[in-house]
Amino acid sequence: MQVLETIRKLCVCCMEEHDVKKVLLRETNIYKGVSVKYNAEYFYCEKADEMYADEQQMTSNDSAMKNAYRMAAAC
Ligand SMILES: [Zn+2]
């Protein structure tokens, strides 16, 4: 897990304001029957020990997965 930055914000996980780490994870997923590997971005709440993605991260994680699929399918 790679920490991109630490931001003080209202954490939607525990609904408190604290330092939240923006992290990059190497994910493996099955998309259209193909195993794809890509980097996904999440926020990590240390208080709850949970990862979550906001709307923007969900969108970019989704396109990262589809890009990885296109790369895998092209080979
Ligand atoms: Zn939190």
Average pLDDT, rounded, for the chain: 96
Q: What three-state secondary structure class fits 38?
A: strand
Both tokens of 36, joined, read: 């794809």
pLDDT at 75: 65
- Mean pLDDT of all residues in 37-54: 97
Tens digit of each residue's pLDDT (9 = 90 or more) over 27-39: 999 999 999 999 9
- Cα–ligand 1 centroid distance for 42 (angstroms): 13
- Cα–ligand 1 centroid distance for 38 (angstroms): 25
Q: What three-state secondary structure class fits 3?
A: strand
What proportion of the chain, given as a percentage, has pLDDT over 70?
A: 99
Cα 60 from Cα 34, distance rounded (Å): 19
Alpha carbons within 13 angstroms on the beta-carbon side of residue 48 total 16
Contact (Cβ atoms closer than 8 angstroms) between residue 22 and residue 43? yes
- Mean pLDDT of all residues in 8-29: 97
- Mean pLDDT of all residues in 32-47: 96
Q: What are the residue boundaries of the structural domains of the chain, listed by start?
A: 2-74
pLDDT at 74: 82
